Amino acid sequence: MFQVGDKVVHPMHGAGVIDKIVEERISGKTQTYYVFSMPVSGLVLKIPTAKSHLVGLRSVVDSAAASAVIGALSRLDTGETSNWNKRYRENLERLKSGDLYEVARVIKCLILRDAERGLSTGERKMLHSAKQIFLSEMVLATGESYQTMESRLCACMQSGAEKEEAASC
Q: What is the pLDDT of residue 51?
A: 92
Judged against a pLDDT cut of 80, whether residue 157 lies above it is answered with: no
Query: Residue 13 contacts by C-beta under 8 Å, 6 or more apart in sequence?
Result: 38, 41, 43, 45, 133
Between 35-44, 78-87, 127-136, 153-162, the lowest mean confidence (pLDDT) is in 153-162
Please tell me the distance from the alpha carbon of residue 33 to that of residue 19, in angstroms, as a whole number.
11
Query: Residue 103 contacts by C-beta under 8 Å, 6 or more apart in sequence?
Result: 94, 95, 130, 133, 134
Please tell me the distance from the alpha carbon of residue 138 to that of residue 32, in angstroms, as a whole number.
28
Q: What is the pLDDT of residue 163?
A: 46
Judged against a pLDDT cut of 90, whether residue 95 lies above it is answered with: yes
DSSP structure class, residue 27 = T
Judged against a pLDDT cut of 90, whether residue 73 lies above it is answered with: no
Inter-residue contact 126 to 106 (CB < 8 Å)? yes
Judged against a pLDDT cut of 50, whether residue 169 lies above it is answered with: no
Inter-residue contact 15 to 140 (CB < 8 Å)? yes
Q: What is the pLDDT of residue 159?
A: 62
Q: Band of the pLDDT at 48, cuts 50, 70, 90?
A: very high
Judged against a pLDDT cut of 90, whether residue 77 lies above it is answered with: no
Please tell me the distance from the alpha carbon of residue 141 to that of residue 66, in angstroms, as a whole number.
6
pTM score of the predicted model: 0.86
Inter-residue contact 130 to 95 (CB < 8 Å)? yes
